[in-house]
Chains A and B, each alone.
Chain A
Amino acid sequence: MTNIMLSAAPSMDFAERMAYGLQVFVVGLGTVFAVLVILWLALVLFKVFSYDLPQKKAKKLAEEAASKVEAAPIVEETPISVIEEPVSDDTQLIAVITAAIAAYNAQSGNSLPFRVVSFKRAGGANGWSGK
């Protein structure tokens, strides 16, 4: 197939080349758009089934749970023991983490400036450990 076209190419005049080029242009770019639009539609379905529906379901469950709590009879108040989390000053820890991020960014060649907006524990008393 390749040989046929290579031998035919020099015999094509300018108008034929233009017509042929236009044909490849339209079909080629059209195919690229068609494939990527189909992928787009597939990804929209992803969103519906993996993100929107589960979120709606979770919201519905939360509403149901809230309505059940409201409907439940109040029996009697029992003293609840509250375990208080030890409150500590994390200023130094935050400074260390900020410095670590800055050092990492500098090492990986990322010169983008960043601003610390908030720090949040991952959970538990040892939340900073990342476990």
Chain B
Amino acid sequence: MLESILNFLESTGIARLFNMDSGWDTLKTIAMFGIAFVLVYFAIVKQYEPLLLLPIAIGMLLTNLPGANMFHLDFFIQQDISFSQVLHEGGLLDILYLGVKLGIYPSLIFIGIGAMTDFTPLISNPKSLLIGAGAQLGVFVAFFLALASGMFSPQEAAAIGIIGGADGPTAILVTKTLAPSLLGAIAIAAYSYMALIPMIQPPFMRLLTTEKERKIRMTALRPVSRTEKIIFPIVVMFIVGLIVPDAIPLIGCLMFGNLLNVCGVTDRLSKTAQNELMNIVTIFLGITVGATASADNFLKWETILIVLCGLAAFCVSTTGGLLTAKIMNIVCGGNTINPLIGSAGVSAVPMAARVSQKVGQEYDPSNFLLMHAMGPNVAGVIGSAVAAGVFLSWAW
């Protein structure tokens, strides 16, 4: 009887927590609990990207519970995954993680994003595409910095750089392919910075623009016909696919989702992509990405460097977009393009566009920049997917 009780007590999580290989491991696990609780707090109380941050936080908590065995990162880091091992020995999160490892979830999320995105401002003002391209500057600067630090391989540096694209699924797709062991840190950094956009961007917006520029009123966007809206996704799919085929898992799905929405004959599919599909995949993606943040894998000096490089990527991307818009405004006569829409070139839709609108209204309450900022914003989605395609197709 006593032996049974002792056996049971030894099998509890508390016993396993304090019987780890070293006291340091115990402390690291407790620290991971703390980080998970902080993320839960940010998600629920502060409402920072709660739809993703909460599943990520819970995934992080589950994977660090001693003895739970829900996730085994070592199954997936090796070059050739043993699917048999995953199915026979893996836990629930191992099986769900196959959707990340095989690149299924980011593409499915992009179908939903495409169905929810209105490309009208971009079709109406195609110049926005240049701003979207300029805002990818941070991706390549962060890649350069990470590589220069000497702590990361080129593939890992590429995965870190893509944080500057401000696009979660894109960052996850690149990281799971090029640097799977960094997935937890990169995904958490990417989503945290996206949530912090209203705090990160405004200082740069004020620093890089004059008061006169911030008050520029942009002319109304031209109307866009239904035919244009239908042709647009097909053309983008073709052009991007023919130049950067590795971007197609993202761009192809994004444009497919958009076509479902604009064609007018697949309303049911469009609604499913926007709601049920998106929600289900978000749960799976969030919880499995969080699960990769085990104490051993997450609490490293590299994580701090990833967080710093990610912040640099975000700041440089914002600067790149702002400067591109500023130059375009000068070239177009100095009173046509409000440079504040440049910061929306990072692809966090629609948060970055809202920040442009908010900062613009601080200087002229009757100036409505939202629709003008949506053009660079959706261009940023395409731009970051193309940047991801470049990294994925690079002969490393």
Contacts and interface: CB of A to CB of B under 8 A. Distances in A.
A99 B387 CA distance: 45
B396 to A, nearest CB: 4
Contact of B126 (A24, A40, A50): A40
B299 interface: no
Interface string A30-52: 01111111111011101100110
A36 B130 contact: yes
Given A5-B396, A50-B228, A32 B387 contact: yes
Interface stretch (A12-20, A61-69, A71-79): A12-20
A21 to B, nearest CB: 4
Interface stretch (B81-89, B235-243, B271-279): B235-243
A32 B228 contact: no
Chain A CB within 10 Å, residue with most, of B153, B232, B243, B391? B153
A101 to B, nearest CB: 15
Contact of B239 (A21, A27, A31, A39): A39
Interface of B: 79, 122-123, 126-127, 129-130, 132-133, 136-137, 139-141, 143-144, 147-148, 150, 153-155, 157-158, 178, 222-225, 227-228, 231-232, 235-236, 239-240, 243-244, 357, 365, 370, 379, 382-383, 386-387, 390-391, 394-396
A40 B79 contact: no
A109 to B, nearest CB: 10
B248 to A, nearest CB: 12
What are the nearest 3 A-B pairs in CB distance?
A43-B126, A9-B153, A5-B396
Q: Identify whether the interface residues of A are mostly helix, strand, loop, or mixed.
A: helix
B123 A5 contact: no
A128 interface: no
B227 A50 contact: yes
Contacts of A20: 147, 154
A126 interface: no
Given A32-B133, A51-B224, 6 more contacts: A3-B79, A21-B144, A32-B390, A36-B379, A38-B239, A43-B232
Find the residue from B140, B158, B178, B244 having the highest chain A CB count within 10 A: B140
B232 A46 contact: yes
A22 B225 CA distance: 42
Contacts of B231: 46, 50
Centre residue among A28, A32, A38 by max chain B CB count within 10 A = A32
A44 B127 CA distance: 9
A33 B129 CA distance: 9
A75 B382 CA distance: 62
Q: Which of A1, A36, A112 neighbours the largest number of chain B CB atoms within 10 Å of its CB? A: A36
